[in-house]
């Protein structure tokens, strides 16, 4: 009987304890103090924008994706296919007034009210930057269309989602070279790298050999 009563009490408490909205905030700012994304040539980024997100399975549970799989993506759609979800797509995400994650700078702002169930504490956040397009709410796979450069940051030491009710501000000055999956560390800044598919060396070599053979035949 006592066990039964305790079970009821535990159930009542569990039901009640979940009644509050549990939510977190994710923010990002770029400036000369905390660092900025730059193009591969070190110039200010004129277009495109920033995406902060996580990888999830079909049910929304965070998953681990290999760094090589992330780095070999050739479009935002490839990332989406791997399970990438921008925090703006997560339940409850609400932009603070004035939030703008699009280039040109200043890039700054936060999204709060993100359901903790969609972004559990300690989840690895990825910080991405593209040099064209923007995030497309509702059709994420079409986001950042036309981008030819990008950067991917996976800061395992600092860029983790906050505990319930908390705030996480993702900055570039916490990033070290080993956190950069795509791009390069330039002090507080991070430069982008090419997003376009790189021809395989064997294919390029075959082409060169064919060209040489053609030249030789013409001489004969």
Binding site for another protein (CB under 8 A): 6, 9-10, 12-13, 16-17, 19-23, 25, 27, 29, 31, 33-34, 94, 96-100, 108-110, 112-113, 158, 162-169, 171, 174
CA distances from 205 to 33, 59, 83, 210, 213 (A): 45, 44, 35, 9, 12
What minimum distance in Å lies between the beta carbon of 198 and another protein? 35
What minimum distance in Å lies between the beta carbon of 80 and another protein? 26
Would you say 13 or 211 has its CB closer to another protein?
13
> What's the CA gap between 167 and 111, in Å, rounded?
10
CA distances from 176 to 28, 37, 153, 159 (A): 17, 14, 9, 12
What does R_g of the chain's alpha carbons equal in angstroms?
22
Would you say 9 or 44 has its CB closer to another protein?
9
> What's the CA gap between 168 and 85, in Å, rounded?
17
Would you say 146 or 157 has its CB closer to another protein?
157
What minimum distance in Å lies between the beta carbon of 174 and another protein? 8
Would you say 97 or 138 has its CB closer to another protein?
97
């Amino acid at each position: 009987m006592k066990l039964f009563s305790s079970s009821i009490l535990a159930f009542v408490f569990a039901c009640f304890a979940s009644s509050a909205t549990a939510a977190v905030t994710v923010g990002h700012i770029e400036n000369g103090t905390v660092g900025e994304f730059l193009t591969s040539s070190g110039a200010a980024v004129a277009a495109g924008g920033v995406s902060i997100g996580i990888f999830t399975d079909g049910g929304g549970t965070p998953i681990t994706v290999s760094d090589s799989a992330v780095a070999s993506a050739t479009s935002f759609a490839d990332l989406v296919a791997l399970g990438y979800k921008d925090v703006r797509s997560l339940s409850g995400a609400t932009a603070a007034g004035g939030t703008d994650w699009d280039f040109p700078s200043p890039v700054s702002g936060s999204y709060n009210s993100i359901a903790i169930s969609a972004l559990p504490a300690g989840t690895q956040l990825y910080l991405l930057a593209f040099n064209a397009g923007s995030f497309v709410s509702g059709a994420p796979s079409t986001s950042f269309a036309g981008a030819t450069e990008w950067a991917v940051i996976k800061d395992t030491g600092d860029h983790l989602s906050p505990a319930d009710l908390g705030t996480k501000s993702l900055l570039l000055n916490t990033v070290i070279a080993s956190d950069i999956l795509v791009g390069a560390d330039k002090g507080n800044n991070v430069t982008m790298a090419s997003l376009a598919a790189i021809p395989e060396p064997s294919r390029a070599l075959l082409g060169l050999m064919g060209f040489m053979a053609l030249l030789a035949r013409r001489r004969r």
